[in-house]
Amino acid sequence: MVTRIDSIIDRTVTLDYPAFDVLYAGECGEDAPKPAGLEGTSPGATYRERVRLVGRVLAGLRERGLAVVDNPVRPLLTTMRLLCDPQRRIYGWYVARDGHGQVPGSFHIAGSDEYVVFARLQGGVVTIEPIGWSSLYTRAFELLPDVGPVSGGAAVVPLSRGAAREEQGGDWLEPVYEEDDDDPVDREHARVQALTYGAKLLFAMQVFTSRKNSRGREEVADFPLHYYASAHGAVLTVHKRSGPEAEPRLHLIPATRSAFRRELRTL
């Protein structure tokens, strides 16, 4: 069963990771796994350290009007509950290139009943923002850089040749080169490579979705959606099957807001 949510925060709240950890553990349990994309090391290795940490966090929340005495306000706690046990989730990880190197980040969108919340973790800070259901499939797009879609149309290639970038490990943003032969399939592979894992990327993102079924069990989509931005433009890639028994194929799609929303909805 999904926990019914009757209220959440009505404005953006920014928390350092220790404060988020204390609130989440207090509402969902010390052993409750953090939402995907919001994982971090729980501070306070000993009981005494943890007690001091909780006291510091509560004092900070009181100063901001987010706690009364030793009790965080209810909308903040139910927001933690929503992140813990939603009906739908969209979550992912990204890496951006700036003038000083690479900046990693991650996010988690959780929705149940009439409420949806967006949370982002970057630089040790968790930013939590209430959003509407209409933004469920587009809020993550706002994290992407202002890079137009690549020229040329979509492409579909088999997966038998070469590994996808996410399967090769290593640096997400640095190019990985592969040999290619002079035939139509390899030329399509070469185009996909040049726009994704063969390019020097400015930004890369991997996005997953999940939802609860009628029995209350969480079902994660078979494949994630990937976004790549480089000097060539921005593209989306996703694995799709033409039928239940068919082998998946890699679909490359010029990255627009409408395409991002459509592909997330159909994962």
Residues in the chain: 267
Give the global pTM. 0.88
Average pLDDT, the chain: 88
In a domain, 2, yes or no: no
Output the pLDDT for position 134: 93
The answer to whether residue 203 sits within a structural domain is yes
Q: Identify the pLDDT of residue 177.
A: 52
> What is the average pLDDT across 237-244?
89
User: Is pLDDT of 144 > 70?
Assistant: yes
Tens digits of residue pLDDT in 161-207? 544 444 555 566 665 555 555 666 677 778 888 888 777 899 999 99
The verdict on residue 96 lying in a domain is yes
Residue 250 has pLDDT above 70, yes or no: yes
Q: Tell me if 172 is assigned to some domain.
A: no
Whether residue 21 is found in the same domain as residue 84: yes
Rounded to an integer, what is the distance from CA 197 to the centroid of its chain?
A: 20
Residue 38 within a domain: yes
Structure confidence at residue 163 (pLDDT) = 46
pLDDT of residue 200: 87
Instruction: State how many domains the chain has.
Output: 2
Instruction: Report DSSP letters for 67-119, one per residue.
Output: EETTEE-HHHHHHHHHHHS-SEEEEEEEEEEETTEEEEEEEEEEEETTEEEEE
- Domain assignment of residue 226, given as a range: 155-160+185-266
Q: What is the pLDDT of residue 164?
A: 47
Assess whether pLDDT exceeds 80 at residue 237. Answer: yes
Residue 103 belongs to some domain of the structure: yes
Q: Are 57 and 76 in contact (CB under 8 A)?
A: no
pLDDT of residue 47: 86
Alpha helices per DSSP H over the chain: 17-28, 47-63, 74-84, 165-168, 184-195, 257-265
Q: Is residue 211 part of a domain?
A: yes
Domain assignment present for residue 144? The answer is no
Q: What would the mean pLDDT of 234-241 be, rounded to a whole number?
A: 94
Lowest mean pLDDT among 146-150, 183-187, 216-220: 183-187
Give the model's pLDDT for residue 99. Answer: 76
Q: What is the pLDDT of residues 84-109, one digit of tens each?
A: 999 999 999 999 988 778 899 999 99
Q: What is the mean pLDDT of residues 19-40?
A: 94
> Is a pLDDT exceeding 50 seen at residue 1?
no
Residues 138-154 have a mean pLDDT of 93
Compute the distance between CA of residue 210 and CA of residue 128 in angstroms, rounded to an integer: 20
Task: Give the separation between CA 27 and CA 52, rounded to whole angstroms.
Answer: 18
When pLDDT is averaged across residues 26-49 and rounded to a whole number, the result is 90
Same domain, 197 and 130: no
Model pLDDT, residue 140: 94
Higher pLDDT, 166 or 263: 263
**For residue 167, what pLDDT is reported?**
52
Nearest to 127 by CA among 135, 136, 118: 118
**Does residue 199 sit in the same domain as residue 87?**
no
